[in-house]
Amino acid sequence: MIKIEGVTKVYRKGSPPAVDGLTLDMNDGEVLGLVGLNGAGKTTTIRMSSGITLPTSGKILVDGFDIVREKVRASRNVGWIPEFPNFEPNAKPLTLLKYFAGFYGLGGREAEDKALELLRMVGLEKAMDKKLRSYSQGMKKRFSIAETLIGDPKNVLFDETLNGLDPQGVIFVRKMIGRLRSEGKAILLSSHILTEIEDSADRVAIINRGKLVKLLDRSELKYLGKTQVKITVDNPDGPIEGVLSQFGETERRGNEFLVRDLKVNSDRIPDILEALVGKGYRVREFTSFGESLEQYFFDLIGGSK
């Protein structure tokens, strides 16, 4: 678990803070999605949580250890996968992983077995004899995940890791995040691919100009923004649009109807179905849903400028 308590980061005196009074928790066995425009403070938050950059004020606790006063113990339990991994280009993956293992008290056969296990897990077993300079960006990110996991951290931070990956790479990272969550690790997923955040995250934190704008639970993601209702009717006729127009703006495509700008609260949406059935319409599909996370995000950020 990582607890961020009222953290501010100022890089230059007189400049606006990159992170401004941010309070946020990353819980064990949970994926927290971190969403924001470029410059919103996402990477700064991640760098402070991993101990790479120290906060100007406030407190960050990693499994109870202060990232400033107990930096070694706190940082030991954080794994950070940056957007652009950078390693010694002439090194080979197995050798470099064994070297990193030494920082966690692993050596000899134990270090080699662990390194081999991780390279197989991230799908690099056939590229172990190649130097890292020959790796594609996607392969470097896979190696970065292996490097991050060599110390078995309890908290793993993915900083735009999905950026630039091919579909196979995206699927791999998605499965890896699910695996780490099932192991009880706290996961932070920062990404501009909001559909992935929407699919993977248990909670979503939206930040803008260094401040927390909104924190959403997974249960809220289905009904973000303006709720709409999609209806499929087997026996539509002309008057049906009049029935539906009582509840909101109606768009018709054959026997499918979309009701937007609802005139009733979400708890009265079942009234629409009741009205249709009462008029003798055979309803095959009745689904209510909100805006996508992407649309909601831009509506929210646009309103906060």
- Report pTM: 0.80
Domain boundary among 197, 220, 243: 220
pLDDT in tens, 168-214: 888 888 899 999 999 999 999 998 888 888 888 999 999 999 999 99
Same-domain pairing of 26 and 151: yes
Average confidence (pLDDT) over 234-263: 93
| Mean model confidence pLDDT for the chain | 91
- Judged by average pLDDT, the poorest of 14-18, 163-167, 169-173 is 163-167
Same-domain pairing of 122 and 27: yes
* pLDDT the model gives residue 59: 96
Same-domain pairing of 98 and 22: yes
* pLDDT the model gives residue 63: 95
- Asked if residues 224 and 52 have their Cβ atoms less than 8 Å apart, the reply is no
- Asked if residues 117 and 155 have their Cβ atoms less than 8 Å apart, the reply is no
Q: 110 versus 223: which is more confidently predicted?
A: 110
Same-domain pairing of 202 and 227: no
Same-domain pairing of 157 and 269: no
pLDDT of 3 > 80? The answer is yes
Alpha helices in the chain (DSSP H): 42-50, 71-75, 93-101, 108-121, 137-149, 167-182, 194-200, 218-221, 240-245, 270-278, 293-304
Q: 217 versus 302: which is more confidently predicted?
A: 217
* pLDDT the model gives residue 163: 82
pLDDT in tens, 123-161: 898 888 899 999 988 889 899 999 999 989 999 999 988
| Total domain count, the chain | 2
Q: How confident is the model at residue 305 (pLDDT cuts 50, 70, 90)?
A: very low
Query: Where in the sequence is the domain holding 202, given as residue range(s)?
Result: 2-220
Query: Rounded to 10 degrees, what is the CA torsion of 260, 261, 266, 271?
Result: -70
Domain boundary among 220, 252, 268: 220
- Judged by average pLDDT, the poorest of 91-100, 109-118, 176-185, 261-270 is 261-270
* pLDDT the model gives residue 301: 84
pLDDT of 303 > 60? The answer is no
pLDDT of 32 > 90? The answer is yes
Q: Give me the CATH number covering residue 121.
A: 3.40.50.300
Same-domain pairing of 267 and 180: no
Here the contacts of 20-25 (C-beta below 8 Å, separation 24 or greater) are 20/209, 20/210, 20/211, 21/58, 21/210, 21/211, 22/58, 22/207, 22/210, 22/211, 22/212, 23/212, 24/205, 24/212, 24/215, 25/1
Q: Give me the CATH number covering residue 280.
A: 3.30.70.980
* pLDDT the model gives residue 298: 86
Q: Which two tokens stand for residue 28?
A: 């064990």
pLDDT of 29 > 90? The answer is yes
